[in-house]
Structure 1
Amino acid sequence: MKEMIQTHDDLLDMLDDLLREPTAFWNDFYADRDKRIPFFVNKPDENLVRYFERGIIAPGHVLKLGCGPGRNALYFARQGCTVTAVDLSRQSLAWARERAQEEQLDVDFIERNIFDFPLAKEAYDIVYDSGCFHHIAPHRRRDYLTLVTDSLKHGGHFALTCFIEGGELGGSDISDWEVYRTRSLNGGLGFTEEKLRLIFADFDVIEIRPMPMMPASATTFGRTGLWTAVFQKKHDNGPLLYKKNVAT
């Protein structure tokens, strides 16, 4: 029967309906490409470029969550990675495909909600999220962690950028409970370093730091008000390939 909650999935779907922006919202968001949205530029995140330069990550199989117009997915492809990029917005993916075609880059763009994405277990060396995580409601956080953990090979890397709590880009500082009292993520949840370490406690922390502001002339994207973080999935046996804890 419609709107009857019998299973855990029914409960998740009901909460999604209360909180999630509909697909039409994101299609409208990306429809006007001339809007002054900082991440509409076709530049990779400065932290992502640094991870390659420092040898933290190397070319491999990549899963890009919430790829938007494709700027980071295209950077991975330029580095010789095999890239699967997922987004629920048809408009953003059309833009991303145009950019890929212009550069003759091969990226597998998939129109799908990340929670409906068919999971390939331990298929990816890297899972990358730039701006998706802070739009994930608390009741979906466990599903998100399962998606990331199960997708990664042992020793693989997970990296993200997300709102700093109370930062200049928003970063709502409301509690998880308050999300449901107000039925809103207030434009995107903000996080502290302590919260990120707690949420991703099953990973080894390589680095967590604020993103710096990059000048308009830079070839990389950087805005204050965002965390950058890179983690490594623990091996079943043996030491990590790379481990460096950085406190900020």
Structure 2
Amino acid sequence: MTALRHAAEVITGHPDQDFYAIALHGVSTEESESIAMPLLALNSVQALERDRATASREELVERGEDADEPADYEDRPDAQPNSPLEGEDVTLEENSIVISDADDQEFEDEDQEDTDEEDLDQVLASLEEGLDVDDAESFYSDKWEPSDWHWSAIDLCEDPAATLWSDAMTDLASREGWEPTIKRYYRTLVAVANALREELQQRTPADLVCYVADEDHAEKLLRLCLTDQQLSKYFPQLSQLVEGQ
């Protein structure tokens, strides 16, 4: 089995990684001009954490914050980053500065703006704290999105074999109809995912979640690919829905 060989090569080639999932993806159930061969994807706990940390740093940079500076870092009040000269001591004589009513209003406006910014920061912070921890573990998070994984697009075979296979499937769909062909195709993918899990369980102690990824039929495919124990462990909400049916 080509998928098994590729998956085993990645896992054995990275003994320091704790792999948790394998997915077949990249095939849409919506009718199109051709039927492509699925892509194989794997991810590990370490790769997920590293990619999330990288995304957080990139977000800080986009917001204009220095990811390398501590959160409580502040410039000195007298810092002049654009000036080549060091700050000089300035002595102001008493009564040398006159502040008008307009200046008072300007200072009050600035104080109000600072207060508004602080209020906004507090609101955003409270919203972030209120987010469920489960959001990072849900099926629709990056943890279970194979296109976001470190090993996200492994070809099961190279051209010209992949093209010949795609042409044959597309020709079959044109003769027998798209819907029956794609249904048969997905049944085959589910069987491959189940075979991957069963075979790899004999080679590694990891509880690998092997599934077919498709947003339009995500929950149904998970129920077909995962064991009852995996469904309850990794997707408890979905497991409860299944039990309630």
Q: What TM-score results when the alignment is normalised by the length of structure 2?
A: 0.23
Q: Which has the higher strand share?
A: 1
Question: Which of these two proteins has the greater Rg computed from alpha carbons?
Answer: 2
Higher relative contact order (CA 8 A, sep 6+): 2
TM-score, structure 1 as length reference: 0.23
